[in-house]
Structure 1
Amino acid sequence: MITSLDKNTALILIDLQRGIVNTPKAHPVAGILENAAKLTEAFRNANLPIVVTNVNAAGAAWTRSRKDQRMPVGAYKDDFLDITHEIKTEPGDIIITKHTWGAFFETTLREQLQERGVTGIVLGGVSTSIGIEGTARQAMEYGYNVSFALDAMTDNVAEAHNNSIMHIFPRIGEVGTTDEIIAKLIS
């Protein structure tokens, strides 16, 4: 349940890029994108920072390490990194290209949030158990108050999504709906 949002809260949308949203997901992507767009509009109307990330793991060190399950990383189609058209970015938005699961590692995200006095973040996007959870863990370690927009995120694997929502996120922050978050923005 979302009890409050910090006065200086940023919206961080994870990997809502064409090459990722166009793959099978546990929940209908149209609804996820609609809620992410509603959050974007609400944060814009509240004059709060909006961060949009995409991921380009090509050449990242972690892609060469040993693991039981290999993640597909290779040549991308031309539009793979493009943010989906449902999410309208503007020149004042913070655009981050990350190379790992979390949006803070080896990016300028923390510095840009600090410059704006951000103390809280709201997370949505894809994938719940990877990019969102990775970013949330890093944000918690930096001391940000973290809120999760449950109906603005999905995962490729329903069980992984549910594990993050039920067992991990409540240890990191507060979990609520898009409408609950927007209500706290305007109260």
Structure 2
Amino acid sequence: MIGSKTALLEVDFQPWIIALGHDPDVLGRAHGIREEYRARGSLVVCTRYLSLDTSDSIRSDPDSEGSRFHLTMLPEPGDLVATKHDRDIWSNPDLHLQLQLSGIEHIVVDGLVTEFGVDLAARGAHRLGYRVTVRSDGCAGTSLSAHNAALEALAAAGIDVLSGCEPQMRT
């Protein structure tokens, strides 16, 4: 069931976090995933990490070169922007409420990095009772082995892990 009851949760497409990823092509694939879900009427949720330490301007200022959304992943009108101040997007108390008010039942996750922000986003959504799918083709880890290990652990936890339209791992 993809459409108005589905949200695409994009995790941390910010330059300083993208630089940690093992796969430089992830941005192009993530942009394609965004267009795919947007065309189906899904809500796009753009998440970002902002440090509370104002002396760390590269990570605390939303307009800085490091913290702004990557130019290919800028929020568009109608997208929801959710900010976190640690690795877990669910530490933002407004996100779950906004998704509930929007009638969201299914959350599709992509982003960076697989073993941290993506993992926490997927597990948190699962804990909150959403049906959860991780699009592995739209994710990158700090290394290929860390990326694959995180995807395997998510699948073992009962979260659907898909690459494109075909199941890659499933429990």
State the TM-score, normalized to the length of structure 1. Answer: 0.78
Match of residue 97 from structure 1: 83
Structure 1: stretches of 5+ with no match in the other structure = 60-72, 182-187
Match of residue 25 from structure 1: 21
Pairwise CA RMSD: 2.3
Aligned 8 A contact 1:98 1:107 in 2 = no
Select 2:50's aligned residue among 56, 61, 76.
56
Select 1:112's aligned residue among 82, 87, 98.
98
Rate the CA distance shift 1:50–1:128 in 2: closer, same or farther, 3 A: same
d(CA) in 1 for partners of 2:3 and 2:38? 16
Match of residue 12 from structure 1: 9
Q: Which amino acid aligns with 1:83?
A: F
Aligned 8 A contact 1:6 1:120 in 2 = no
Map 1:1-187 → 2, pairs under 5 A: 5=2, 8-21=5-18, 23-27=19-23, 29-30=24-25, 32-59=26-53, 74-76=56-58, 78-180=64-166
Structure 2: stretches of 5+ with no match in the other structure = none
More strand by share: 2
d(CA) in 2 for partners of 1:150 and 1:106? 24
Rate the CA distance shift 1:46–1:5 in 2: closer, same or farther, 3 A: closer
d(CA) in 2 for partners of 1:169 and 1:7? 25
Rate the CA distance shift 1:5–1:172 in 2: closer, same or farther, 3 A: farther
State the TM-score, normalized to the length of structure 2. Answer: 0.85
- Cα shift at 1:75: 3.3
- Cα shift at 1:5: 4.8
Match of residue 66 from structure 1: none
- Cα shift at 1:26: 2.0
Q: Which has the higher contact order (CA 8 A, sep 6+)?
A: 1
Aligned length: 163
Q: Tell me which moved more, 127-136 or 99-108.
A: 99-108
- Cα shift at 1:74: 3.0
Aligned 8 A contact 1:96 1:107 in 2 = no
Q: Which amino acid aligns with 1:131?
A: G
Greater gyration radius: 1
d(CA) in 2 for partners of 1:180 and 1:109? 29
